[in-house]
Amino acid sequence: MENLLWILKRLSPHTHLLFLSLLGSVVQSAGSAGVTLLVKGVVDEVFLIRDQTKVITTVSLILGSALAMQVGFFVSKYSVSVASERTLKNLREEIFQKLLFVPHTFFIKHPAGDLISRVVSDVEKIRIILTEHVPVLLREPVVAVVLFFVLLYRDPLLTAVLILLLPLMVLMVRYFGSKKGKHLRRSQEGTAQLTQILSQTFQGIENLKVFSAEDRVLKHFRDWSGRILRSSVRMDLYVTGNTALNYMFGYTAVAGVLLYGGYRIVEGHLSPGEFVSYLTALFMLQPHLINSQRALMSLKGTLPVVSRLKELLDLKGETSGKITFRGFSKSIDLKNVKVSVNGKQILKGINLTILKGEKIGIVGQTGSGKSTLVRLIPKLIDYEGEILIDGKDLRSFDLRSLRERIGMSTQETFLINGTVRENLLIAKPDATEREMREALRLALCDFVDRFEKGLDTVVGERGHSLSGGERQRIALARVFLRDPDIVILDEATSALDTNTEKKILRNIFEFFEGKTLIIVAHRLSNITECDRIVVMREGVIVEEGSFYLLVEKRGEFYRIFREML
């Protein structure tokens, strides 16, 4: 019931359309009632008494009633469809907006495949509820109620007997609906897993081929595909069984009416016209009852999907302070900072001061916490302890203003499936052509000029039409274009050859002179000119100092230095 109320609340901004749909249902109901009531006159006065003067009038009224039925049906269905599609549009946009502004750590804990499945597949299930089930439930019961009163008017006793069968229909809705809901949820969860497998496979297809792992991935895919098959087949079993029982229920009721009605005509208690009118109303009522029952069952079975979407919509966004960040004049201070992800402690009591304009290099073995450390500055990761900028808590700053002053490029390059121009404008939407070309020059993106369409060349999904080094250079061009106060490079040149890397680093140090620069190094040559080097191991800082001081100290940095020679 809670999930149904949630859907109705989503529809509430379009109450005027729902009212129009209900009005259409009333018109359709009136037309249906008119047809059934007029049938008596056709049988008793036209067929039996053979009153020719009644033929044209009665047939005209029947046609008018039929027209009213179809006009009412059109208005009812179209109005609620418009309301449903508008609701779906708002729902899709709200979910996507919510996901854009949740904390970065949420994506570490939740597979992308599951999230994509919820946004695409689960929303499609809601679309079915809104565009198919809701219109039926707004229209069919109204028509059914009016036809029921026609039956009651024609023969109260027989109608009372039929009412006794309604509890059976209610039990069928509850039983088949709950069964369908259980297997639908399993099917949706299986679809999420399948989406995740597809996403991972397409992203890592090169590695899968090199390691000849196709059969292993195929087996994993088939396992989940089989689970979806079993859930879907069982779901279809209950849906089909419910439909078959519905029709059997209807045929049995009609057979009973025929037997009872024939007896009453023979006894003279009922005229043929009244009986045909009753049968017409009953035949017209049956599809509306079946459609209502089927919609109720489908609705009950589909509503569990709402819970999966509500989980996303109930997510809390990133907490943002109210102080506008306008840069800093002294230092960034990390005091006893700790970070845990999925129960694993990544950073263990970090204490570090970064002065304004200082060039900091960060080194350490894989898994030492380097990338986690630099992601603290733009507040991408939740933490314990204190991070102060000029004495003010990092959490007190408005996130948008903070991140607008930070430029970041990582080893995992992010490019959208658009043009070079569109990828650059992510960093600075109002950038001029001249600014973009200057940024490309500083990042040594001379290859762009060789493209036939230049800046308007489409780079493909994740930049697949480019080499790894070209992708990283476009990402670095974004940093140059933004010209931030704080620059963070997390192994941002790992795909470049040594000569190209040296030229770009020289441009970085010259262009960002006076700016704060933090470099996570994959080669020690990247940080020889840094003012200070921070050495990390297993989530703690074990050493810090200048390049030559650390070499002379012959500690952890010296060990790393010797290994990389």
SS3 per residue for 487-545: EEEECCCCCCCHHHHHHHHHHHHHHCCCCEEEEECCCHHHHCCCCEEEEEECCEEEEEE
Residue 331 is inside which H or E element, if any?
A: strand 331-341
Kindly report which listed range (62-76, 235-249, 315-329, 537-551) carries the lowest average pLDDT score: 235-249
Same domain, 355 and 232: no
Tell which residue, 188, 284, 301, 282, has the closest CA to residue 242: 301
Kindly report which listed range (244-258, 328-342, 350-364) carries the lowest average pLDDT score: 244-258
Q: For position 125, what pLDDT does the model report?
A: 77
Same domain, 352 and 472: yes
Cα–Cα distances in angstroms (integers) from residue 9 to residues 15, 126, 340, in the given order: 10, 14, 38
- The Cα–Cα gap between 110 and 547 comes to 40
Q: For position 134, what pLDDT does the model report?
A: 74
What tokens appear for 150 in the block? 């026609």
| Contact criterion met (CB below 8 Å) for 542 and 555 | yes
Q: Which of 313, 342, 362 is the last residue of a domain?
A: 313
> Vertex 107, ends 101 and 110: CA angle to 5°?
125
Look up the domain containing 134 and give its range: 2-313
Q: pLDDT category, 481, cuts 50, 70, 90?
A: very high
DSSP assignments along 85-102, one per residue: HHHHHHHHHHHHHHHHTS
Average pLDDT along the chain:
80
Which of 192-206, 246-260, 493-507 has maximum average pLDDT? 493-507
Cα four-point dihedral sign 197, 199, 201, 207: negative
Q: Is residue 558 part of a domain?
A: yes
Number of domains into which the chain is organized: 2
Q: For position 353, what pLDDT does the model report?
A: 93
Q: Is residue 319 part of a domain?
A: no
Domain of 470: which CATH number?
A: 3.40.50.300
Q: Is residue 48 part of a domain?
A: yes
- Edge-to-edge order in the sheet of strand 516-520: 406-410, 486-490, 516-520, 359-364, 532-537, 540-545
> Vertex 463, ends 408 and 201: CA angle to 5°?
105
pLDDT(45) > 60: no
Rounded percentage of the chain residues whose pLDDT exceeds 90 = 18
Q: Is residue 87 part of a domain?
A: yes
Residue 175 is inside which H or E element, if any?
A: helix 166-203
Q: Which of 284, 313, 342 is the last residue of a domain?
A: 313
Q: For position 343, what pLDDT does the model report?
A: 79
Q: For position 211, what pLDDT does the model report?
A: 57
Phi and psi based region of residue 261 (left: phi greater than 0; alpha: psi -120 to 50; beta: remaining):
alpha
Rounded percentage of the chain residues whose pLDDT exceeds 70 = 78
Same domain, 309 and 335: no
Q: For position 333, what pLDDT does the model report?
A: 94
Average of per-residue pLDDT across 260-286: 68
Report which of residues 49 and 267 the model is more confident about. 267
Cα–Cα distances in angstroms (integers) from residue 86 to residues 13, 79, 89, 207, in the given order: 10, 11, 5, 43
Same domain, 266 and 357: no
Backbone angles phi, psi at 514, to 5 degrees: 90, -10
Q: For position 135, what pLDDT does the model report?
A: 74
SS (H, E, C) 144-164: HHHHHHHHHHHCHHHHHHHHC
Same domain, 186 and 296: yes
What tokens appear for 219 in the block? 């087996």
Q: What is the pLDDT of residues 140-177, one digit of tens each?
A: 777 777 777 777 777 776 777 666 666 666 666 666 66
Q: What share of the chain is helix, strand, coil (3-state, %, to 5)?
A: 65, 10, 20
Q: For position 74, what pLDDT does the model report?
A: 86
Q: pLDDT category, 184, cuts 50, 70, 90?
A: low
Q: For position 210, what pLDDT does the model report?
A: 55
Same domain, 134 and 16: yes
- The Cα–Cα gap between 256 and 164 comes to 13
Tell which residue, 11, 94, 7, has the closest CA to residue 306: 7
What is the rounded (10 degree) CA torsion for 227, 232, 235, 237?
Answer: -110
- The Cα–Cα gap between 181 and 304 comes to 6
Same domain, 412 and 508: yes
Report which of residues 564 and 329 the model is more confident about. 329
Q: Is residue 326 part of a domain?
A: no
SS3 269: coil
CB burial of residue 32 (10 Å; 0-12, 13-18, 19+): buried
| Contact criterion met (CB below 8 Å) for 243 and 287 | no
Specify the amino acid at residue 95. Answer: I
- Residue in the structure block whose two tokens are 């609620």: 80
- The Cα–Cα gap between 125 and 305 comes to 7
| Contact criterion met (CB below 8 Å) for 157 and 343 | no
Same domain, 413 and 368: yes
For residue 552, the tally of other CB atoms under 10 A from its CB is 11
Report which of residues 317 and 408 the model is more confident about. 408
**Burial state string for 508-529 with b = 16 or more CB within 10 A and e = fewer than 16:** beeebeebbbbbbbbbbebbee
Cα four-point dihedral sign 330, 336, 341, 345: positive
Q: Is residue 325 part of a domain?
A: no
Q: Is residue 247 part of a domain?
A: yes
Q: 180: Cβ–Cβ under 8 A, 6 or more apart, which residues?
A: 235, 238, 239, 297, 298, 300, 301, 302
Kindly report which listed range (66-70, 216-220, 343-347, 455-459) carries the lowest average pLDDT score: 216-220
pLDDT(381) > 80: yes
Residue 408 is inside which H or E element, if any?
A: strand 406-410
Q: pLDDT category, 501, cuts 50, 70, 90?
A: confident
- The Cα–Cα gap between 268 and 274 comes to 12
SS3 434: helix
Same domain, 89 and 212: yes
Same domain, 131 and 22: yes
Q: Is residue 130 part of a domain?
A: yes
Average of per-residue pLDDT across 187-211: 67
Kindly report which listed range (153-162, 261-270, 452-461, 469-478) carries the lowest average pLDDT score: 261-270
Q: pLDDT category, 191, cuts 50, 70, 90?
A: confident
Domain of 87: which CATH number?
A: 1.20.1560.10
Q: What is the pLDDT of residues 82-96, one digit of tens each?
A: 888 888 888 888 888
Q: What is the pLDDT of residues 393-450, one digit of tens each?
A: 999 999 889 988 999 888 888 888 888 898 888 888 899 999 999 999 999 998 888 8
Same domain, 338 and 239: no
Same domain, 286 and 389: no
